[in-house]
Amino acid sequence: MAKIEKSPDQWRSQLNDEQYRVTREKGTERPFTGDYQVRDEQGIYHCVCCHAPLFENEHKFDAGCGWPSFDRPLGRQSVEEHRDSSHGMERTEVVCSHCDAHLGHVFPDGPPQTTGLRYCINSVSLEFHPNE
């Protein structure tokens, strides 16, 4: 599948300022401010930029970090992971595999009874589709 590519102006016309800052400029929303941190209904989280399905609510857990946390993506090809050495840290960035939208980071401190991973994702990079 070919990557979705748009100019910065095209992305800006589609996204609000915060969505653009986080997804296209690799920003981070403030902790405990996102809409999806505490959502409990069943459904699928999609990329706010290209609407690709990314995470299932069934695999979401409360990590207490202030951002939605998942123990795995919806499928192996839903997201890509890249080395991120910004801000003086070594982390693994998570992006949408369809449009390269910055979603957040993955850490090895998730629930040990599942994958042991914590996909720490910005709410503004997601849109929720209930009952999918």
Task: Give the residue numbers marked as catalytic.
Answer: 120
Q: What is the DSSP letter of 6?
A: -
The answer to whether residues 53 and 78 touch, using CB atoms and an 8 Å cutoff, is yes
Task: Pick the closest to residue 50 from 90, 84, 95 (CA basis).
Answer: 95
CA dist., res. 64 & res. 54, Å (int): 21
Contacts of 83 (CB under 8 A, 6+ apart): 90, 92, 93
C-beta contacts of 76-84 below 8 A and 24+ residues apart: 78/52, 78/53, 78/54, 79/54, 79/103, 79/119, 81/106
